[in-house]
Amino acid sequence: MTASLPAQTCPPSQDGALLDAYSSAVSDAVCAARPAVVHIEVSGNDTPGGSGSGFFISPDGYLLTNSHVVHGARELRVFLADGRKLSADLVGDDPGSDLAVLRVSADDLYFLTLADSNAVRLGQIAIAIGSPMGFQQTVTAGIVSGLGRSLRGASGRLIDNVIQTDAALNPGNSGGPLVNARAEVIGVNTAIIRPAQGICFAIASNTSRWVAAWLIKEGRIRRSFIGVAGQTVPLLRKLVLHHRLSQETGVLVMGLEPDSPASRAGLLEGDILLSLDGASTPAVDALHKLLTGDRIGERALVAFLRGVELRRHAIIPLETPAAK
């Protein structure tokens, strides 16, 4: 996942003297990155078909794209930069992070390095390569205009540490790489806010690296659940003071799944969840972040308010069923 891009010699520009440093940086990065970027065509059981972008992350055919591009697909075709058209298999799909890994049967492929997204800085060059509106190998460039954003995935979970860029993205760019001036991937292009002008998002490369590794290893990302429908609500000030709570909001239990961990633990509708194993849950998203794969089948302690009474019950989260 951290191997270097195979060496490629970019032809010298005949107008080199006319190019400024910015243009040269973009041009060189594009020349190095484009051979690893692919166009993906999808046909599914429930849809007439669609398309998106992706890029190779290894020389033996593994490539990254968005989950929403390939989820539910029956057939996947990948068009390489050199003109080849290959069938692809879905290795793993994670709607919770909007990432998926495909594999094609080919060797010695150009591939991209995933950079450390923690080193990304506001204002640095951001270059998007993909197939907007079906136009393959299209390049747009801009800057990183925001860091640490959150974006809600198809599963309802928040995707954290999302990179915001003003590099123009359109339908078909989804799954393509957002690269820096060294042709290293800093993010996976995933969404655009339709009414806005120039507000586009990419899943950070550190998140992408972690998800891709698990998808290649197990084909999915394991997460846990307790089976509650919740809503973030403010806590009564007198209860915060009385129980010496460090938070002013909690998660109101609006509903319970039958025979779920929450039901077995004795939680009831109207309870307000405060923490899980000592980690506070001031909002629904905070609870989601705590329900990781390592909690599956492990006993935990949930603290909650029932009326004015502070209670603590043991609970054993279960594994979230795979999305269909």
Q: Is 68 an active-site residue?
A: yes
Residue 184, both tokens: 């290293």
Catalytic residue among 51, 67, 97, 174: 174
Active-site entry in 53, 98, 205, 280: 98
Spatial distance between the Cα atoms of 215 and 201, rounded to a whole number of angstroms: 22
At residue 16's C-alpha, the angle toward residues 36 and 113, to 5°, is 20
CA–centroid distance for 197 within its chain: 22
Q: Choosing from 39, 51, 67, 68, which is the catalytic residue?
A: 68
Distance (Å, whole) CA 271 – CA 195: 39
Contact present, 138 and 130 (Cβ < 8 Å)? yes
Decide if 201 contacts 151 (C-beta within 8 A).
yes
* 243 is annotated as an active-site residue: no
Return d(Cα 127, Cα 138) in angstroms, integer. 10
Known active-site residue 51: no
Query: Which CA distances in Å does 193 have to 170, 249, 300?
Result: 10, 29, 39
C-alpha distances in Å from residue 307, one per residue of 173, 243, 268, 272: 50, 13, 11, 9
Is 246 within 8 Å of 278 (Cβ atoms)? no
Helices (H), the chain: 21-33, 67-70, 205-218, 237-242, 261-264, 284-290
Query: So which residues are the catalytic ones?
Result: 68, 98, 174
